[in-house]
Amino acid sequence: MSLSRLALRLAAIETLAPSALQSDPNAQWPTAAEGRFLDSQMTPESFAEGVAQRRLPVVAVYADEAKREPYGTAADSLVDGSDQVTLAFEIMVPGVYRQDDQNAYIVPAVALDALAEATLDMVEEQIRQVLQDARMSRPLCLVLSHVSRVESRPWRDADLDTRLSARRVEFDCHLINAERRPLAGQTGLDRLPEPLRSVALALPEGSYGRAACNVVAAALGSAAAFTALAELRLAANLKRGAGDAAPPPVNPGVTPPVGDLAGSVVIPQT
């Protein structure tokens, strides 16, 4: 599940801020946040010169709460389950705050005004539209099955209870489960389990997401190849007690066979 979260986050960032547009001065970006989609971070360095002064929106992308539920009547979600991840976008309209000493400070969110709220509304709607249109396109289609809930929450100052120029939008995402473990001896991106491997291969060479996947694949190394459990043997000592009914005649030709049958039970690896 953990690396599926990474796959979802990187696919969403590439969808909303395509790496091919980063060096294009005339880029037609999908949203008003342009290329300012940040992976799991929001620091003062996130606001380049002019961003706060011009009150341009910045978005931080997180993969938050995650859970796995068993399929159908399956009892073990580790073996056969459905992954759900909350994909969160924290949209901020930064500003410049001046203290009494006239020193200026860049802050991620200031007191809300009409222009900032309209910007938040616009970027939130653009994110929804882009994700909806991209669900059938790579790389997002390789990891996202469907979205079951969208929730938008305003931000408030914890001390003053003042509405701020920021909000959090959450998408409850159901993921495509293809957690095939890599075989021993794999190298490069082939070390990654699915669906991260497919997403990584779909990300453009030289992009931020591809570089992140290369780092993860190198860090996994041989640890990503797990020892295979060839078979599970079950041994049991079974016998009838006093008063048990006589067994039916042995008939090994039916499926499943009936009667007293000698032998062993082997459950092969699946």
Q: pLDDT confidence of 51, banded at 50, 70, 90?
A: confident
Rounded to 10 deg, the angle between the 208-220 and 2-16 helix axes is 160
pLDDT at 16: 97
Whether residue 59 has pLDDT greater than 90: yes
Q: Token pair of 230, please?
A: 């060839």
Decide which of 134 and 263 is more confident: 134
Q: Is residue 202 part of a domain?
A: yes
> pTM value?
0.76
35: enclosing H helix or E strand: none
**What token pair was written down for 211?**
């570089």
Sign of the dihedral through C-alpha 26, 207, 63, 60:
negative
In a domain, 106, yes or no: yes
How many residues are given for the chain? 270
pLDDT at 88: 98
Residue 239 lies in a domain: no
- Can you tell me the mean pLDDT for 145-160? 93
Does the structure show a pLDDT above 50 at 270? no
Helices and strands, counts by H and E, the chain = 5, 9
Q: Residue 8's closest CA among 172, 168, 126?
A: 172
Instruction: Kindly state whether residue 167 falls inside one of the protein's structural domains.
Output: yes
Answer yes or no: is pLDDT of 65 > 70: yes
Domain extent, residue 36, equals: 2-224
Q: Is residue 233 part of a domain?
A: no
H, E, C per residue of 223-265: HHCCCCCCEEEECCCCCCCCCCCCCCCCECCCCCCECCCCCCE
Structural contact between residues 214 and 203, judged by C-beta atoms closer than 8 angstroms: no
Determine the pLDDT at residue 28. 95
**Is there a contact between 36 and 51 (Cβ–Cβ < 8 Å)?**
yes
What span, in angstroms and rounded, lies between the C-alpha atoms of 59 and 43?
Answer: 11
Q: Of 54-68, 113-127, 216-230, which gets the smallest average pLDDT?
A: 216-230
Q: Identify whether 248 is part of a domain.
A: no
Structure tokens of 128?
Answer: 């929804």
Counting the structural domains of the chain, the total is 1
Query: pLDDT category, 264, cuts 50, 70, 90?
Result: low
Residue 197's domain is classified under what CATH number?
3.30.70.1700
Q: Is residue 24 assigned to a domain?
A: yes
Which of 4-18, 64-78, 148-162 has the lowest average pLDDT? 64-78
Mean of per-residue pLDDT scores for the chain: 83
Q: What is the pLDDT of residues 83-109, one digit of tens each?
A: 899 999 999 999 877 776 677 777 788
Q: Are 226 and 34 within 8 A, CB to CB?
A: no
d(CA 85, CA 65) in angstroms, rounded, equals 6
Lowest mean pLDDT segment, chosen from 109-123, 151-165, 196-210, 256-270: 256-270
Place of tokens 């020193």: 103
124 assigned to some structural domain: yes
